DNA sequence: TTAAACTTTCAAAAAGTTTTGAAAGTTTAA
DNA sequence: TTAAACTTTCAAAACTTTTTGAAAGTTTAA
């Protein structure tokens, strides 16, 4: 396979994975494009490479910035803005975990905490089943939360090292 | 909060979480409903509770079965089919991890393996950046894969015990 | 100032996904 | 067999999300 074809495949696959994980396809594709660009590139070049409109490119870039996955860069003497992606996969994973925790896990834990407080008679199977499912899921979610918390502060080698050693 | 309201909130929240994670809302809601039902219930009851059509209920139930999250049950002397969900959260998590690995991670790893083989001149920054990103992501994906593999065979207490102790 | 160069917004259109419901299919009891 | 009870299918409709592109806004250099 040639480099050009490889790049295409990479952008396509990253986009598909993104859309399966609730990140929109274009956003994942722009991220992929920046991941394989040695130099920062402009909105214009992104529009061109991916055949997307200016509006779409702009919104997507802002989203990626708010996710902490890319940054703007100014070049002296130029009006244009250049964008580049952090290429460190471990940083990317932490950034994504952090955002998803904030946007998805936290609100659910909050609701589960409330639902755990619902009172009822444990002899009533309706209530007993509800209560058990809610508290079990709550415990599980909190374990996931603690693991993410640790991951956010961990070094990559230590993290995988510990996990994989433990699982040997 | 009353039990009835709690149930509503639980179904709603589970549905929302599902849709953020690429599982369709109705599917997550039907799953939630079954999670808090002490007894197996019929298609009819599900349609009624969630105000969804017969076709939708049927497709959703089949999907949930293919994900290994619920099962059919026959009651002696009755034509109707009853459905119930495995209530063990650890089993649910493993089942979901297993399916998503098969449907999403495996295909990506396959492509990354191919892309890692693309040849080029490392002095060419275009190629060097592409190659580094691809191989880094590939390594990362393989670590995730190994972790899931282990999780699939692990007992819940051992798994969280090891992870949380390690992170203390 | 001004105007050129660039970025951002947002309503409408396109694309994608989910749901409906009626029709077709299947199974069972008599 | 038959018909009643139930399940499955699928094309069309409803709904949701994403994208477009023209207009408005902003910044900078002269």
Chain C bases closer than 7 A to any CB of the protein: 5-11, 17-23, 28-29
Which residue in chain A is spatially nearest to B156 when comparing CA positions? Answer: A140
Spatial distance between the Cα atoms of A96 and A67, rounded to a whole number of angstroms: 7
Residue-wise pLDDT tens digits, B117-156: 999 999 999 999 999 999 999 999 999 999 999 999 999 9
A115, B37: Cβ pair inside 8 Å? no
Chain A residues in contact with B137 by the CB 8 A cut-off are: 89
Chain B hits for A129, Cβ within 8 Å: 35-38, 87
Q: Looking at beta carbons, which residues of chain A come within 8 Å of B163?
A: 143, 147, 163, 166
How many angstroms separate the first and last alpha carbons of chain A? 35
Retrieve residue B4's tokens. Answer: 């009835």
CA angle at A108 for the pair B43 and A13, rounded to the nearest 5°: 80
B125 touches strand D (CB under 7 A): no
Listed in order, strand segments (DSSP E) in chain B are 41-42, 70-74, 81-85
The two counts, helices (H) then strands (E), for chain B are 8, 3
Cross-chain Cβ contact B108/A17 below 8 Å: yes
pLDDT digits (tens, 9 = 90+) for B27-79: 999 999 999 999 999 999 999 999 999 999 999 999 999 999 999 988 777 77
Do A64 and A96 contact (CB within 8 A), yes or no? no
pLDDT in tens, B112-123: 999 999 999 999
User: Under a CB-based contact definition with an 8 Å cutoff, are residues A124 and B140 in contact?
Assistant: no
């Amino acid at each position: 396979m040639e480099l050009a074809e490889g790049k295409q495949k990479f952008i396509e696959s990253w986009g598909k994975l993104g859309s399966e994980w609730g990140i929109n396809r274009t956003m994942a594709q722009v991220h992929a494009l920046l991941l394989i660009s040695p130099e920062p590139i402009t909105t214009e070049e992104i529009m061109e490479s991916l055949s997307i409109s200016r509006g779409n490119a702009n919104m997507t870039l802002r989203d990626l910035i708010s996710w902490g996955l890319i940054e703007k860069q100014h070049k002296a003497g130029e009006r244009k803005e250049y964008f580049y992606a952090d290429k460190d996969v471990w940083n990317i994973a932490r950034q994504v975990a952090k955002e998803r925790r904030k946007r998805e896990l936290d609100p659910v834990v909050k609701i589960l905490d409330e639902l755990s407080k619902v009172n009822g008679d444990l002899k009533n199977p309706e209530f007993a089943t509800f209560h058990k499912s809610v508290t079990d899921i709550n415990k599980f979610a909190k374990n996931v939360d603690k693991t993410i918390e640790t991951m956010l502060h961990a070094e990559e080698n230590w993290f995988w090292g510990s996990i994989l050693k433990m699982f040997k």
